Amino acid sequence: MGFGSTSRRQALQQLASLGALGALGVLRSERSGAATGAIPGFGGTVTRRQDAGYEGLRQSLVWHRSKPARYPDLIAQVRSEDEVATVLRYAAANRLKVAVRSGGHNPTGPSLRDGGICLDLSALAGIEVDRERAIARVQTGVRAIQLVARLAQDGLTFPTAHCPSVGMGGFLLGGGIGWNHGYRGGMATFGIEAADLVLADGRRVTASATEHPDLLWAVRGGGPGLFAAVTRFHLAAYPLPTAIRVSSYILPLDKLATMTATLDALAPAADPKLETLALLMHDPAAPPGTPPGQSKICFLTAFAFGYSEAESRAMLAPLAQSALAREATVKEENRAFTLFELFPKFFSTAQPGGYMGRYAAESAITDEPGRILHALADHFRKAPSPICHVIASHRMNLRAREDACFSSIARSYVGCFAIWDDERTDENNFRWLEKATTFMDPYAKGHYINEVEARRHPERIRQCYSPAAWQRLQALRRQYDPQAVFHSWLGQEAQAGGAGDLQP
């Protein structure tokens, strides 16, 4: 399927900006006077803590502006999968700990740890597509929009993150709530057919249903604490939806009950290809100075990922006939989009005022998303920044799977995001987010590991897994990484009495 001229222009702009980010990283490395020979036999770039340019490079590894106060001794930027093995053998031989980075979007910045090596895999960005088998072999540094663009050339797609620049590595390992997520079992990680990994001793293995199935189990949800470096994912793609239609409705926050009742009525029966995204957000049209209590809105967007216009319109019809449509102050129905065009659409609505700020997130996997939204509503009115927002996906359709350690299982997801600009308000924003969890947790069956505030609350990591999955992950860590070369989840080592990596 071809892209229209507008979307092609947008696509080129977005891809160009990703290229610029990559170039910036390389430039910084070159300027740094990076140490050649610091890791014998390694042809990539190594930047030591004492090198000029280290700090610029370190900060560029975390996408948002809340840069962690954690300082690796070496930053190793690899260019090939072989080089990953070289770095790991060196780390094991020299008793250095390793933290892995792909796209750098994790809010808690877990790839930056004190001491040891930050292994930056972001330059591993190759994609190979087996069109006949609908399998995409995707290196870990590929960004969401790059995968969508490449697969579209073969009439295929995969549920990538909604944000174009999120790395496939961290997204897939943590679970991955992607476009059209309900259609493919709720989490993108379930679409990993196999993964190529480098283990702590430098061995390269492939994990699949028949080879190292225990490793594949851990890859599907192990998140930012995996005990191996994944270099490549083998992903099950599916036919690109060709007739995407989108309806959006805006209501004042006072009418939240109308939105949640409509979603609850829709949830059980609707086609799994209908994705709904309910937002509580600041009204970007509110005049400056409007009291916070009067400037918040509910914004529901429904995406129908159909293969014909009739199919997509039928998915959206119940919304058009609902009280939500009757009471909406603004609405737009059945608008045609390509998948590519949805990336800017999502960001123009979800995060007004720009999405690059200081950043913290919390989440609930829940069967009661409506109750969480109501419990949060008053607290949300007091959000310390106008960019803070709440997102709910009512229809994740998650099912427990024995072949995946991802084990927060329920019907829906709710995420709460504190995003702000002024460093002096850090504490206010963190406290606001912490208080939000007191409204979310009573209805949560678990949390989403890619969106828990592990910097201040490492105990929430364990709550992302069933007790059995947590225990099995610890056992596999001991088996595959007996020397503890890889860092564990943020804060877990400190809790276990090991090298502390918790920062204030």
Q: Which residues bind ligand FAD (CB under 6 A)?
A: 63, 99-107, 110-111, 121, 140, 161-163, 166-167, 169-171, 173-174, 176-177, 224, 226, 229-230, 355, 450
- In the DSSP assignment, the letter for residue 293 is G
Which is nearer to ligand FAD, 59 or 334 (by Cβ)? Answer: 59
Which is nearer to ligand FAD, 227 or 253 (by Cβ)? Answer: 227
Which is nearer to ligand FAD, 74 or 253 (by Cβ)? Answer: 74
Helix/strand/coil for 178: coil
C-beta of residue 259 within 8 angstroms of C-beta of residue 298: yes
Question: Shortest Cβ distance from residue 102 to ligand FAD (Å)?
Answer: 3
Which is nearer to ligand FAD, 72 or 104 (by Cβ)? Answer: 104
Which is nearer to ligand FAD, 178 or 241 (by Cβ)? Answer: 178
C-beta of residue 492 within 8 angstroms of C-beta of residue 458: yes
Residue type at 467 in one-letter notation = P
| Separation of alpha carbons 197 and 128, rounded Å | 17
**DSSP readout, 60-121?**
HTSSSS---S---SEEEE-SSHHHHHHHHHHHHHTT--EEEESS---TT-TT--SSSEEEE-
Phi-psi region of 283 (alpha: psi -120 to 50; beta: other; left: phi over 0): beta
Which is nearer to ligand FAD, 101 or 401 (by Cβ)? Answer: 101
Which is nearer to ligand FAD, 34 or 119 (by Cβ)? Answer: 119
Question: Shortest Cβ distance from residue 81 to ligand FAD (Å)?
Answer: 11
Question: Shortest Cβ distance from residue 205 to ligand FAD (Å)?
Answer: 13
Question: Shortest Cβ distance from residue 290 to ligand FAD (Å)?
Answer: 26
Nearest by Cα to 472 from 186, 92, 281, 213 = 213
Question: Shortest Cβ distance from residue 327 to ligand FAD (Å)?
Answer: 28
Nearest by Cα to 363 from 337, 341, 338, 396 = 396
Question: Shortest Cβ distance from residue 296 to ligand FAD (Å)?
Answer: 21
Instruction: Give residues with Cβ within 8 angstroms of 370, minimum separation 6.
Output: 260, 261, 263, 264, 394
Q: Which residue is nearest to ligand FAD (CB)?
A: 170
| Separation of alpha carbons 353 and 179, rounded Å | 23
